[in-house]
Structure 1
Amino acid sequence: MLSKKTQYAFHALIHLAENVDKGPILISEIAKEKNISIKFLENILLELKNAGILGSKKGKGGGYYLMRAPKEIALARIIRLLDGPIALLPCVSLNYYERCENCKDEAVCGLHDVMSRVRDASLKILENKTLKDLVTKS
């Protein structure tokens, strides 16, 4: 399940993508348009900026903007950045692997096998869908 933080990040990113031609967008505009607390949104946008997804400009005409075109920002990257692993179990995670404490042998574990397939199916979608796909649908 996506956290509220990640959902808000996607809403803010969609707003920035929809207004990409307008230049930097103020946090207050995004917060008002998407009904997100400014304080919470500041933290989210700062995290996205630190990851190189957003840039910012201070002063008159300032605000946040996308560092790349919406078609170049994969949904999987945003989810991993803000929520961590996409996999439902740590033993099937590609980037955050941890052996499960109660599993004797992953090679014969049915749950491991099924969750690996769930991960692969999810990643097939999330790595191939981008912010542009969200804008097209909204």
Structure 2
Amino acid sequence: MLTNKGKYGLKAMVHLAGKPPGQPSLVADIAAANNIPKKFLDAILGELRSARLVHSKKGRGGGYVLAKSPSEIMVGDIVRALDGPLAPIACASRNFYRRCEDCSSEKACRVRLMMLEVRAAIADVLDHRSLAAMRDLTEAKGELTYDI
């Protein structure tokens, strides 16, 4: 499940993607525009900076900008940077695999088999959608469309 940190980080990244390239945004402006607690957003943007998804500049004319074009940043990279693995359980994770202590046979565990499928579906969507596509996502007549 996406945490508030992940959700707020996605909102902040969409906000930055909506700005002209290279135009910095202040944390206070991003927080106010997206109803995100500023102190929490400071920490989130710090994590996104550590993940090299954003750059920051201090002082006059400073703020946050995307480290790459929105079309080069995948939504899955943002979610992983903030919330960790996409898999709902550790034994279904590709990069953060951990065997379950209560499972006698992973190959026969129906929970794991289902969660492998869930993880693959989540990764398929998040790893094939760019921040630009997310920014341009709209809802029309109850169906999601991309304004690209």
| TM-score normalised according to structure 2 size | 0.88
Other-structure match for 2:144: none
After TM superposition, the structure 1 = structure 2 runs for residues 22-61 of structure 1, keeping only pairs within 5 Å, are: 23-61=23-61
Instruction: Give the whole-Å Cα distance in 2 for the aligned partners of 1:22 and 1:95.
Output: 33
Q: Which runs of 4+ in 1 moved over 3 A?
A: none
Other-structure match for 2:71: 71
Contact 2:56 2:62 in 1 (8 A): yes
Gaps of 5+ in 2: 139-148
AA aligned to 1:136 is D
Contact 1:20 1:65 in 2 (8 A): no
**Aligned pair count?**
138
For the aligned residue pairs, the C-alpha RMSD in angstroms reads 1.2
Deviation (angstroms), 1:96: 0.9
Contact 1:12 1:34 in 2 (8 A): yes
Other-structure match for 2:82: 82
| TM-score normalised according to structure 1 size | 0.94
Instruction: Give the whole-Å Cα distance in 2 for the aligned partners of 1:137 and 1:33.
Output: 18
Percent identity between the two aligned chains: 41
Contact 1:20 1:66 in 2 (8 A): no
Deviation (angstroms), 1:20: 3.1
Gaps of 5+ in 1: none
Give the structure with the larger strand fraction: 2
Instruction: Give the whole-Å Cα distance in 1 for the aligned partners of 2:129 and 2:101.
Output: 34
Instruction: Give the whole-Å Cα distance in 2 for the aligned partners of 1:22 and 1:55.
Output: 10
Other-structure match for 2:8: 8
AA aligned to 1:76 is G
SS at match of 1:21: coil
Other-structure match for 1:21: 21
Question: Comparing 118-127 with 21-30, which one deviates more in the overlay?
Answer: 21-30
Deviation (angstroms), 1:21: 3.4
Give the structure with the larger helix fraction: 1
